[in-house]
């Protein structure tokens, strides 16, 4: 690859810039309030760009395009849901949460229900959500380093995990708002410029993505299978295979007929120019299937999958700790609302481009569909479609954007983990923060290595499902329903957290066989939100009703504080101890 | 036809605003029965607004996969070479989300202004 040194330099520059900015930012923060909530003085526009900068992770930058390239129309629900989540946050959470004066979600739990033990339960949930969210970031790093530089896949999670841990242990990365705001514009540039540049060859070549056949490769392409894979061959002409196919060793042979074949690892396929790409089993093979809605994302019960994705992403955003903490930096509830609205606009703009790249990937790099690692599409597209120095430069830009995306997001997540652990479990000293950061950053690394078969956006979707089944009901019921009790909230968090957490762990570590009981167990484990979110809400309401006698006595004044506009002077800012 | 009539004027003999501001504000702040009722009204109004707009979005959004599932031919319709289902999900849905959000911000702020006006006793 001719662009490798350029790409490596871009990766290094982006990583160094992120770490350097983290250290620089920490020097500008003086007081505890500066550190945690930027003294609550950030206006809606800056804050919205900062939230988007921290929010757009590897899943958005790489995962959305990959998922669209692989599964087509139904994958479009992920970017829609990632954006619509902020509408849910705006409607139900933003202003009252800001007015509560709490500075983290566990602090809100203590403010609303007055229980230090519930605060601890909420803290555990925060750590679990952030850990699950870290998994796809590390996974994306492994994929990017492997795709761009040919490094072994375990190295990425270890390297990025190491950088993030050093960064957070060394200084913290609650960097100043303008840096995170800048991150948004950097990521937008790194994805928009290649997408717009690729629009030209896409329109010029005018490939037909419809029809009964899968996409065709444009020049002779050789693909080596690295893990055993089942592929769907629609048109055997032009494909030469060497290796173990269905357990039989073949040497320079062709597939005898269209159908399903098991390719062992080490198998090489050579596709002549213009031949139709085999497609990994489970993904739509024919172009017309890819274009049509209602085919789901592999597996059975597509309508259930889509419904569950909608529930997880629409409700999950309001339970993401690293996003919520930025809403506390607004001066008042009105600014919090305007911030959420501006985030919707910024994300709508961003997600146009991964969608375009997903479509382009089907034309320019269809060979990714053989192994199913379509998450690499964004990284490979510029050099495949444009080539030459321009392609190499665009590839380096994309690589820099990608590494910035997962470093920024994972630093933010790790600060949330370390902050929650050190103030609520340990004694809140700087040393405790560092120990917590070390543990919190290291635990997701093995999970990321196990999860490499699951697409990035799907792994993030699972983290959203956990958030939607735990913190979402706590916040929504806590803000709008006077009947919530400590016991009810704790039971809801426990039931929702265990149900969605077990499903997520199962899905990440391998999932459940599709053939079992008509595919329902596999569908529920892979997309748990449609079951676990109603379950968590019901548990919280039912147990609260049973323990109605233990409602906090001062609930009226707490409600007044959350809902009455600041002008009436009801608000009290809470600050951490110490 | 109004040319002959003198313009209407508002005549204020005594401004009783000060006394009322303090009384109603204190009622809200100290959670008397009146104050609590006012806050309950505000919470109910804001929740109703949020739920109504969420219902609008849910009906719109849930209708998309259901309609595509029930009428597969619908998604074959194309505009300028782009399928309708892609056009809706990749482009059209975002302005709808933003528009609903904007409407909510406007109405919620209006509700809060009304609340403050009641509390401060402004006409």
User: In terms of pLDDT, which residue wins out, B53 or A43?
Assistant: B53
Amino acid A22: pLDDT: 64
* Residues paired with residue A224 on neighbouring β-strands, in sequence order: A268
Question: How distant is the Cα of A552 from the closest Cα of chain B, in angstroms?
Answer: 15
Residues of A in contact with B115 (CB under 8 A): 564-565
Q: Does A92 touch chain B (CB under 8 A)?
A: yes
Amino acid B55: pLDDT: 92
Cβ within 8 Å, pair B94-A310: no
Q: In chain A, whose CA is at the least distance from the CA of B105? A: A337
Evaluate if residue A127 carries a pLDDT over 80: yes
Enumerate residues 26 to 55 of chain B having a beta carbon within 8 A of any beta carbon in chain A: 28-29, 31, 35-36, 39-40, 42-43, 46-47, 50, 53-54
- Quick one: A4-204+294-452 is in which CATH superfamily? Sodium/glucose cotransporter (1.20.1730.10)
To test the contact with chain A by mutation, choose from B55, B77, B112 the residue with the greatest count of A C-beta atoms within 10 A, namely B112
Say how far apart CA A555 and CA A247 lie, in whole Å: 67
Three-state SS string over A342-366 comes to: HHHHHHHHHHHHHHHHHHHHHHHCC
Question: How distant is the Cα of B69 from the closest Cα of chain A, in angstroms?
Answer: 6
* pLDDT-wise least confident of A346-355, A506-515, A524-533, A556-565: A506-515
**Which of A73, A559, A568 is the closest to B116 by Cβ?**
A568
Cβ within 8 Å, pair B90-A355: yes
User: In terms of pLDDT, which residue wins out, A262 or A426?
Assistant: A262
Amino acid B106: pLDDT: 93
Amino acid A416: pLDDT: 82
* Res. A39 pLDDT band, cuts 50 70 90: very low
Cβ neighbours, 10 Å, residue A432: 16
Residues of B in contact with A355 (CB under 8 A): 90
Amino acid A543: pLDDT: 94
Q: Where are the domains positioned within chain A?
A: 4-204+294-452, 221-276
Q: What pLDDT digit, counting tens, does each position of A356-375 carry? A: 999 888 888 888 888 777 78
Helix ranges (DSSP H) in A172-286: 177-205
- Over residues B9-19, mean pLDDT: 59
Evaluate if residue A117 carries a pLDDT over 80: yes
> What is the average pLDDT value for chain A, to the nearest integer?
82
Cβ within 8 Å, pair A556-B105: no
Amino acid A256: pLDDT: 81
Evaluate if residue A83 carries a pLDDT over 90: yes
* pLDDT-wise least confident of A446-455, A541-550, B70-79, B98-107: B70-79
* Res. A88 pLDDT band, cuts 50 70 90: very high
Structure tokens given for A234 = 């629609």
**Which of A294, A556, A569 is the closest to B68 by Cβ?**
A294
Q: Give the three-state DSSP class for A435.
A: helix
* Res. A570 pLDDT band, cuts 50 70 90: low
* pLDDT-wise least confident of A19-33, A200-214, B89-103: A19-33
| Chain Cα centroid distance, residue A249 | 40
Evaluate if residue A351 carries a pLDDT over 50: yes
Tell whether the torsion through CA atoms of A219, A220, A225 and A230 is positive or negative.
Answer: positive
Amino acid A207: pLDDT: 65
Amino acid A511: pLDDT: 67
* Percent of chain A at pLDDT exceeding 90: 20
Enumerate residues 64 to 93 of chain B having a beta carbon within 8 A of any beta carbon in chain A: 64-65, 68-69, 72, 75-76, 83, 85-86, 89-91, 93
Tell whether the torsion through CA atoms of A257, A263, A268 and A274 is positive or negative.
Answer: positive
Say how far apart CA A146 and CA A305 lie, in whole Å: 30
Highest mean pLDDT among A283-292, A558-567, B105-114: B105-114
Highest mean pLDDT among A2-6, A224-228, A244-248, A496-500: A496-500
Highest mean pLDDT among A266-270, A281-285, A341-345: A341-345
Q: Does A572 touch chain B (CB under 8 A)?
A: no
- E strands present in chain B: 78-79, 82-83
Amino acid A269: pLDDT: 84
* Percent of chain A at pLDDT exceeding 70: 90
Q: What pLDDT digit, counting tens, does each position of A143-190 carry? A: 888 888 888 878 888 888 888 888 777 665 455 566 777 888 888 999
Q: Does B108 touch chain A (CB under 8 A)?
A: yes
Per-residue exposure over A360-372, b if at least 16 CB sit within 10 Å of its own CB, e if not? bbbbbbbbbbbbb
User: In terms of pLDDT, which residue wins out, B71 or A48?
Assistant: A48
User: In terms of pLDDT, which residue wins out, B13 or B18?
Assistant: B13
- Do A22 and A164 contact (CB within 8 A), yes or no? no
Cβ within 8 Å, pair A480-B43: yes
Amino acid B1: pLDDT: 47
Say how far apart CA A268 and CA A427 lie, in whole Å: 56
Q: What is the DSSP code string of A257-268?
A: SSEEEEEPTT-E
* pLDDT-wise least confident of A14-18, A89-93, A278-282, B68-72: B68-72
- Do A267 and A241 contact (CB within 8 A), yes or no? yes
Amino acid A340: pLDDT: 93
* Res. A51 pLDDT band, cuts 50 70 90: confident
* Percent of chain B at pLDDT exceeding 70: 66
Cβ within 8 Å, pair B101-A294: no
Say how far apart CA A515 and CA A216 lie, in whole Å: 31
Amino acid A214: pLDDT: 77
Q: Does A568 touch chain B (CB under 8 A)?
A: yes
User: In terms of pLDDT, which residue wins out, A169 or A399?
Assistant: A399
């Amino acid at each position: 690859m001719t662009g490798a040194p350029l790409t490596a330099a871009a990766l290094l520059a982006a990583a160094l810039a992120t770490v350097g900015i983290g250290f620089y930012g920490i020097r500008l923060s003086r007081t505890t309030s500066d550190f945690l909530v930027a003294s609550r003085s950030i206006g809606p526009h800056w804050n919205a760009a900062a939230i988007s900068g921290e929010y757009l992770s590897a899943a958005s930058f790489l995962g959305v395009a990959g998922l669209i390239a692989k599964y087509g129309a139904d994958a479009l629900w992920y970017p829609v849901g990632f954006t619509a989540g902020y509408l849910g946050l705006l409607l139900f959470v933003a202003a009252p949460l800001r007015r509560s004066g709490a500075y983290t979600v566990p602090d809100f739990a203590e403010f609303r229900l007055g229980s230090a033990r519930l605060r601890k339960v909420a803290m555990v949930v925060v750590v679990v959500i952030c850990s699950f969210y870290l998994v796809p970031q590390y996974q994306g790093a492994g994929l990017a380093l492997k795709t761009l530089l040919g490094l072994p896949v375990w190295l990425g999670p270890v390297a990025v995990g190491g950088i993030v841990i050093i960064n957070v242990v060394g200084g913290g990365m609650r960097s100043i708002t303008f840096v995170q705001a800048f991150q948004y514009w950097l990521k937008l540039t790194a994805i928009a410029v290649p997408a717009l540049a690729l629009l030209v060859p896409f329109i010029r070549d005018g490939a037909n993505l419809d029809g009964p056949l899968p996409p065709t490769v444009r020049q002779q392409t050789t693909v080596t299978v690295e893990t055993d894979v089942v592929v769907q061959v629609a048109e055997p002409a032009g494909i030469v295979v060497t290796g173990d196919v269905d357990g039989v060793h073949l040497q320079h042979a062709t597939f005898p007929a269209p159908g399903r074949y098991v390719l062992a690892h080490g198998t090489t396929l050579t596709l002549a120019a213009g031949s139709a790409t085999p497609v990994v089993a489970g993904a739509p093979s024919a172009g017309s299937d890819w274009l049509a809605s209602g085919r789901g994302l592999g597996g059975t019960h597509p309508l259930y999958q889509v419904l569950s994705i909608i529930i997880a992403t629409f409700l999950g955003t309001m339970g993401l700790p690293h996003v919520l903490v930025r809403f506390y930096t607004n001066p008042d509830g009105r600014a919090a609302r305007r911030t959420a609205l501006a985030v919707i606009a910024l994300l709508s703009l961003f997600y146009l481009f991964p969608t375009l790249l997903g479509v382009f990937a089907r034309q320019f790099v269809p060979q990714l569909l053989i192994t199913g690692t379509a998450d690499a599409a964004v990284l490979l597209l510029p050099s495949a479609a444009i080539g030459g120095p321009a392609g190499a430069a665009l590839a380096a830009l994309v690589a820099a954007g990608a590494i910035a995306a997962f470093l920024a997001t994972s630093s933010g997540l790790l600060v949330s983990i370390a902050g929650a652990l050190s103030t609520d479990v340990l004694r809140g000293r700087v040393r405790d923060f560092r120990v917590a950061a070390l543990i919190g950053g290291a635990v997701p690394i093995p999970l990321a290595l196990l999860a490499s078969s699951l697409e990035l956006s799907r792994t993030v979707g699972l983290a959203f499902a956990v958030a939607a089944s735990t913190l979402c009901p706590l916040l929504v019921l806590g803000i709008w329903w006077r009947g919530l009790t400590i016991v009810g909230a704790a039971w809801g968090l426990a039931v929702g957290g265990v149900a969605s957490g077990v499903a997520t762990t199962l899905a990440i570590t391998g999932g459940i066989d599709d053939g079992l009981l008509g595919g329902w167990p596999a569908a529920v484990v892979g997309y748990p939100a449609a079951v676990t979110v109603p379950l968590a809400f019901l548990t919280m309401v039912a147990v609260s009703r049973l323990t109605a006698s233990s409602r906090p006595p001062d609930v009226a004044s707490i409600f007044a504080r959350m809902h009455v506009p600041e002008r009436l002077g009801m608000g009290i800012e809470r600050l951490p101890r110490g | 036809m109004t040319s002959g009539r003198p313009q209407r004027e508002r005549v204020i003999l005594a401004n009783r605003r000060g006394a009322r501001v303090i009384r109603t504000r204190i009622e809200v702040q100290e959670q008397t029965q009146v104050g609590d009722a006012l806050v309950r009204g505000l919470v109910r109004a804001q929740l109703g607004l949020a739920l109504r707009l969420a219902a609008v979005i849910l009906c719109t959004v849930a209708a998309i996969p259901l309609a595509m599932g029930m009428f597969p031919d619908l998604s074959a319709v194309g505009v300028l070479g782009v399928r309708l289902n892609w056009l809706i999900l990749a482009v059209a849905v975002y302005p709808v989300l933003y528009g609903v959000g904007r409407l909510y911000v406007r109405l919620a702020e209006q509700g809060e202004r009304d609340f403050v006006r009641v509390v401060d006793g402004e006409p």
